[in-house]
Amino acid sequence: MMNTNVELPLKVGDTCKFVKTISEADVYMFGGITGDYSQMHFNEEFMKTTKYGTRIVHGVLTFALGCTASTMIQQQVKSPIPSASYGYDHLRFVKPVFFGDTLTSTYTIARVEPETMKTYGELVITNQRDEVVVVATHILKFLPPENA
């Protein structure tokens, strides 16, 4: 049975940001970890023949910066309650990201559900031109101690 007497540490409107410039090394390491060596990320000559004109960053690598922001917001409020990602809804790769782009991941709490011990965060990732490149809704599930 769920104990709803525990107050969640995040409130609607809480926000945090994470900023990173994506380097060629980031893309190569990510490709090595995942095994995704698509020519869209690794073949400059091929990409010159496309509408992009150059290599693009993996969408999932870009999205991963939002995952960093979802962790940072918990650290920001010094959450006394452990939590786990319950997943992402409505994930969209809106625009391509290019090597050298500086991305800002903004994570904002949009909804708090004390009865289910969940918060819903809106993730928006923008590039240095303030263009939205990724959006998603993150669900964070808090796990209070059994004796709470």
Q: What is the pTM of this model?
A: 0.91
CB 40 within 8 Å of CB 56: yes
pLDDT computed for residue 1 by the predictor: 45
In this prediction, residue 63 carries a pLDDT of 96
Tell me whether residue 5 is in a domain.
Answer: no
Could you give the CA distance from residue 58 to residue 103 in angstroms, rounded to a whole number?
A: 13
Confidence of residue 5 (pLDDT cuts 50, 70, 90): low
| CB within 8 Å of 117: residues ≥ 6 apart | 2, 4, 6, 8, 141, 142, 143, 144
pLDDT at 55 over 70: yes
> Mind listing the pLDDT tens digit for each residue in 77-111?
888 889 999 999 999 999 999 999 999 999 999 99
Is residue 4 one of the residues assigned to a domain?
Answer: no
CATH code, domain with 66 = 3.10.129.10
From CA 112, how far away is CA 54, in angstroms rounded?
A: 41
Q: What is the mean pLDDT of residues 33-56?
A: 97
Assigned domain for 6 exists: no
**Whole-number pLDDT of residue 106:** 98
Number of compact structural domains in the chain? 1
d(Cα 138, Cα 147) in Å, to the nearest integer?
27
Beta carbons of 22 and 61 less than 8 angstroms apart: yes
pLDDT grade, residue 148 (50/70/90)?
low
The length of the chain is 148
Is residue 7 included in any domain, yes or no? no
User: Is 9 contained in some domain?
Assistant: no
Q: Does residue 128 lie in a domain region?
A: yes
In a domain, 105, yes or no: yes
Tell me which residue range forms the domain holding 47.
15-142
